[in-house]
């Protein structure tokens, strides 16, 4: 199999099937208690899992230019005039949109790995 460049587009229809299960955990408790619960879940012996935090979603949005941090907005506008079009207010709708992009990206990456492991 020919190796593909990292940034080269892959036809998603050629990737093996992948059936991810997603769930949302909302902790109505202190940060310390929720950190303990997350650690317990991470060390459990269930199948492979990925915990996505709010910070990871925000960082992904910044990386993909789906969200612009108001603190760095002035610097970004000096470098790139198109940055004025990027949202700077982190609304629940924007956070949800960024999550969907991030989640789909993770699923595609997992399918790529499954494809490589099959060869």
19-33 mean pLDDT: 71
On average, the pLDDT of the chain sits at 75
According to the model, what pLDDT value does residue 97 have? 93
* 115 against 64, higher pLDDT: 64
Give the three-state DSSP class for 109: helix
pTM for the model stands at 0.64
* Residue 82 exposure: Cα atoms within 13 Å on the Cβ side: 2
* 116 against 40, higher pLDDT: 40
Distance CA 98, CA 44 (A): 28
Residue 101's contacts (CB-CB under 8 Å, 6 or more residues apart) are 60, 61, 64, 66
According to the model, what pLDDT value does residue 100 have? 92
69-111 pLDDT tens trace: 877 766 666 667 666 677 778 888 999 999 999 998 988 888 8
Give DSSP secondary structure letters for 20-75. ---------S-HHHHHHHHHHHHTS-SS------HHHHHHHHHHTTS---GGGHHH
Question: Is the pLDDT assigned to residue 119 strictly greater than 70?
Answer: no
């Amino acid at each position: 199999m020919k190796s593909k460049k990292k940034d080269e587009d892959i036809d998603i229809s050629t990737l093996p099937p992948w059936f991810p299960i997603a769930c949302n955990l909302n902790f109505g408790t202190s940060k310390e208690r929720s950190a303990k619960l997350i650690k317990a879940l991470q060390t459990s012996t269930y199948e492979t899992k990925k915990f996505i935090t709010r910070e990871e979603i925000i960082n992904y949005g910044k990386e993909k230019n789906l969200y612009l941090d108001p603190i760095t907005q002035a610097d970004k506008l000096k470098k790139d005039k198109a940055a004025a079009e990027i949202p700077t207010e982190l609304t629940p709708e924007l956070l949800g949109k960024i999550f969907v992009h991030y989640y789909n990206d993770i699923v595609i990456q997992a399918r790529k790995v499954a494809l490589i492991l099959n060869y």
